[in-house]
């Protein structure tokens, strides 16, 4: 229900939120009241409207990063696990080099080198996320490749492309899906972290991490950071619960 609410907010909030998220609608730094439910920020903008608008940035970015990073990593992992040899060595050493950096530090380095902005932050998060799927898919392909039905297909003369697409990959996607559902919340958190330090969405975009950063500047006006902070908490917690449930449903060991 929480995720459905935020998806609906991302799609329709512009039609029913009380104020524009970019307009000054009242006095600066007003606490929550009947006119401004979550108060106003340092520029007199309505925090309730800005929090609803923040879903437009955070949820689509998380979906895009997980999909692109998962697809890219899965393709590379499938190639590495299926062909082996030098192909596997080159791809997996690149994965090892990427994973040797702390995720937040690598994302900061990529975003800083490309310049602040929403799309550069998205590219930075994809650069952090694809190696996880590459390693997972490579291990799955190597495991499935040793099964008897694959040996039978090879004996019957099945071509390599068909062997990979029909006999191996269909048995590898379940762990990838479980991992993807668990990663959605982490991507939302990473996106907010990049915006918090100024490497994400550029002002005056109502992105949750940037709003929490504004609250840190105006530390004694707690309501500025409280609303976007609770929004981040609700989304991450709900996505983690969904990921846990999907894992319980799809894990054959718990069937």
Residue 28 within a domain: no
Would you say residue 228 lies in a domain? yes
Whether 159 is in a domain gets the answer yes
- Give per-residue pLDDT as tens, 201-225: 877 888 898 899 888 888 889 999 9
pLDDT over threshold 60, residue 228: yes
- Domain with residue 153: its CATH number is 1.10.3720.10
| pLDDT tens sequence across 122-172 | 999 999 999 999 999 999 999 999 888 888 888 888 888 889 889 999 888
Q: Where are the alpha helices (DSSP H) in the chain?
A: 2-16, 47-83, 85-99, 103-114, 118-145, 148-155, 160-162, 173-196, 208-217, 223-250
- For the cut 80, the answer to whether the pLDDT of residue 253 exceeds it is no
Q: What is the domain extent for residue 92?
A: 57-199+208-254
CA–CA separation, 199 and 197 (whole Å): 6
Mean of pLDDT values over 53-76 = 91
Question: Could you tell me if residue 72 is inside a domain?
Answer: yes
User: In 3D, which of 235, 241, 239, 246 has the Cα closest to residue 57?
Assistant: 235
**Count of structural domains within the chain:** 1
CA 61 vs CA 14, 47, 109: distances in Å: 18, 21, 19
């Amino acid at each position: 229900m929480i995720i459905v609410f935020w998806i609906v907010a991302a799609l329709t909030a512009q039609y029913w939120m009380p104020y524009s998220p970019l307009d000054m609608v009242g006095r600066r730094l007003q606490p929550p009241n009947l006119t401004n439910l979550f108060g106003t920020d340092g520029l007199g903008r309505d925090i309730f409207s800005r929090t609803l608008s923040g879903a437009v940035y955070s949820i689509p970015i998380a979906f895009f990063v997980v999909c692109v990073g998962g697809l890219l990593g899965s393709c590379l992992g499938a190639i590495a696990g299926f062909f082996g040899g030098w192909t596997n060595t080159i791809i997996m050493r690149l994965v090892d080099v990427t994973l040797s950096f702390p995720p937040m530090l690598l994302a900061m380095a990529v975003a800083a080198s490309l310049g602040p902005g929403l799309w550069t932050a998205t590219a930075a998060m994809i650069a952090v996320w694809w190696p996880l799927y590459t390693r997972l898919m490579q291990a799955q392909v190597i495991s499935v490749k040793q099964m008897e039905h694959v040996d039978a297909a090879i004996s019957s003369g099945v071509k390599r492309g068909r062997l990979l697409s029909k006999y191996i990959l269909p048995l590898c996607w379940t762990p990838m899906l479980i991992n993807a559902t668990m990663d959605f919340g982490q991507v939302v958190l990473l996106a907010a972290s990049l915006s918090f330090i100024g490497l994400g969405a550029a002002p005056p975009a109502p992105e949750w991490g940037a709003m929490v950063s504004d609250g840190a500047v105006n530390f004694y006006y707690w309501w500025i950071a409280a609303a976007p902070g609770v929004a981040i908490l609700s989304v991450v917690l709900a996505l983690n619960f969904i990921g846990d449930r999907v894992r319980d449903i799809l894990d054959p060991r718990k069937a």
